[in-house]
């Protein structure tokens, strides 16, 4: 296993030039920073994109849903494309052409497999929750067997794909820097607000450490 | 033209139940709040999802890119799926099963068409920039003809698809509300930071109104 993904025809489809990255640390950091993803799949020749949450363990990425979900049943053992994007800012240039966004994105290609073993499935779901909120799973009411049965976990190896990152100031045509036009970046930030306790929480139930210290967008190993 | 999208087999594919919406105001508000989208398309049976920016005019949605982009060339006159998602919060329940996210998403299905007429294309690109930053296009260096030629604008009618919205507190099993487990919502917010002027801006160029008053996530008509 190398530290870099293979550069394939598929993963080169995106305009790569200076913004493309194939190294695992860059790809993993983006995946870990943004659980929201879109999973693309094909049903009878038609493209579908389903928004869902992904989580990573080593060189695999996971997502889950209802076992009855047609999206998951159709993705199983099939080609999928998993896409994660983070918008970091609007880039305002001196011509319309050079307006852009600062962003980080990852596109992965592969075959989705179902996690079949029930113990492994529970372990993956535990990692999903604990990856976001360390230690939470053990504090919860244990899963009912029928709920686990009704949940499907899909898995894909991180082996084909790439990241794309744009940062910094606008890139204008050299002669346009002489124009009296305001250019710059409007940063976009994602922040976490004050936790809102469920009104039905029992009296005296303290807010857990994993909620108080939750940082969205932080990286995990 | 009705105010509601047709409920088709495709648009019902997502778990609809109480969270599905087919009315245009809900769909339009989400599209207008989040320009980042994923466009799904198929090349030789394989799914691709390309992150890009979308903008809406009436009952059509637009996106653009390089005329040389294989993503755009393959999407043209082909079935696409356009997906927009906004994460509003993490929902922490009393069992793993009922953990969720508060979010707003739109999935649209249709055929992508190229905006062929050069004047119409320029008008659409103008609306794209001015939709985000009112009045900006007129303040810019006019586009070079070859730049416009090198840009492709694709268009899709908003006629098939749906929105999905989840808000509010966790939904636990009734008996689980008796458990001493902290449940609640951690809100996620997207905010705009202080504009960062390009270091190469000319002296005395004032920050424009459309930058000072920029609000990301605000709705447009």
pLDDT at residue A219, rounded to an integer: 41
B197 vs A92: CA distance, rounded Å: 9
Reported as a single tens digit per residue, the pLDDT across A172-185 is: 999 999 999 999 99
Q: Which two tokens stand for residue B12?
A: 């019902």
**Which of B81, B147, B179 is the closest to A141 by Cβ?**
B179
Answer yes or no: do B49 and A107 touch at CB < 8 A.
yes
pLDDT at residue A151, rounded to an integer: 97
Question: Within an 8 Å CB–CB cutoff, is residue A83 touching chain B?
Answer: yes
Contact B180, B153 (CB under 8 A): no
Residues of A in contact with B70 (CB under 8 A): 13
pLDDT at residue B215, rounded to an integer: 86
**Which of B14, B95, B180 is the closest to A202 by Cβ?**
B180
Selection from A103, A173, A95, A90 nearest residue B126 by Cα: A95
Reported as a single tens digit per residue, the pLDDT across A57-92 is: 999 999 999 999 999 999 999 999 999 999 999 999
* Number of CB atoms found within 10 A of residue B122's CB: 18
How many CA atoms, within 13 angstroms, populate the side-chain half-sphere of residue B32?
16
What does the mean pLDDT of chain A come to?
93
**Which of B101, B151, B197 is the closest to A184 by Cβ?**
B197
**Which of B70, B136, B207 is the closest to A13 by Cβ?**
B70
pLDDT at residue B8, rounded to an integer: 77
pLDDT at residue B217, rounded to an integer: 61
* Residues with pLDDT less than 50, chain A: 1, 15, 218-221
**Which of A182, A187, A200 is the closest to B193 by Cβ?**
A187
pLDDT at residue B216, rounded to an integer: 79
Burial of A196 (0-12, 13-18, 19+ CB in 10 A): middle
Residue-range domain boundaries for chain B: 17-212
Contact A153, A73 (CB under 8 A): no
Chain B residues 87-116 within an 8 A CB cutoff of chain A: 87, 89-90, 92-97, 99, 101, 103, 105, 107, 109
Residues of A in contact with B54 (CB under 8 A): none
Q: What is the DSSP letter of B202?
A: P
Looking at domain B17-212, its CATH architecture is Roll (2.30)
Contact B131, B125 (CB under 8 A): no
Q: How far is CA B142 from the centre of its chain?
A: 27
* A33 CA: distance to closest CA in chain B (Å): 13
- Report the DSSP pairing between strands B151-157 and B60-66: antiparallel
Q: How far is CA A163 from the centre of its chain?
A: 11
**DSSP letters of A107-119?**
EEEEEBEE---HH
Question: Within an 8 Å CB–CB cutoff, is residue A11 touching chain B?
Answer: no
How many CA atoms, within 13 angstroms, populate the side-chain half-sphere of residue A57?
16
* B146 CA: distance to closest CA in chain A (Å): 11
Class at the top of the CATH hierarchy for domain A17-87+103-166+189-212: mainly beta
Burial of B156 (0-12, 13-18, 19+ CB in 10 A): buried
Residues of A in contact with B87 (CB under 8 A): 36
ipTM for the complex? 0.93
Q: What is the pLDDT along chain B (221 residues), one digit of tens a residue?
A: 457 887 777 766 554 555 789 999 999 999 999 999 999 999 999 999 999 999 999 999 999 999 999 999 999 999 999 999 999 999 999 999 999 999 999 999 999 999 999 999 999 999 999 999 999 999 999 999 999 999 999 999 999 999 999 999 999 999 999 999 999 999 999 989 999 999 999 999 999 999 999 987 644 43
Distances (CA, A) of B129 to A50, A146, A153, B67: 28, 51, 41, 19
pLDDT at residue A177, rounded to an integer: 98
Residues of A in contact with B167 (CB under 8 A): none
B158 vs B86: CA distance, rounded Å: 19
pLDDT at residue A220, rounded to an integer: 40
């Amino acid at each position: 296993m190398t530290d870099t993904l293979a550069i394939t025809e598929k993963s080169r489809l995106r305009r790569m030039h200076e913004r493309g990255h194939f190294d695992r640390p860059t790809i993993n950091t983006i995946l870990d920073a943004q659980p929201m993803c879109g999973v693309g799949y094909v049903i009878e020749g038609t493209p579908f994109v389903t928004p869902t949450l992904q989580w990573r363990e080593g060189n695999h990425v996971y997502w889950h849903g209802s076992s009855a979900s047609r999206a998951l049943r159709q993705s199983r053992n099939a080609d999928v494309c998993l896409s994660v994007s983070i918008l970091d800012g609007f880039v305002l240039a001196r011509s319309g052409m050079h307006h852009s966004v600062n962003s980080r994105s990852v596109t992965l290609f592969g075959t989705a497999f179902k996690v079949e073993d029930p113990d492994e499935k529970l372990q993956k779901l535990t990692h999903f929750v604990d990856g976001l909120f360390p230690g939470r799973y053990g504090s919860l009411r244990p899963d009912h067997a029928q709920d686990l049965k009704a949940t499907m976990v899909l898995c894909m190896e991180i082996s084909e794909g790439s990241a794309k990152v744009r940062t910094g100031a606008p890139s204008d045509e050299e002669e346009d820097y002489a124009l009296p036009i305001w250019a710059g970046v409007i940063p976009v930030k994602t922040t976490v607000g004050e936790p809102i306790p469920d009104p039905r929480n029992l009296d005296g139930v303290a807010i857990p450490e994993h909620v108080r210290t939750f940082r969205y967008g932080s990286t995990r190993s």
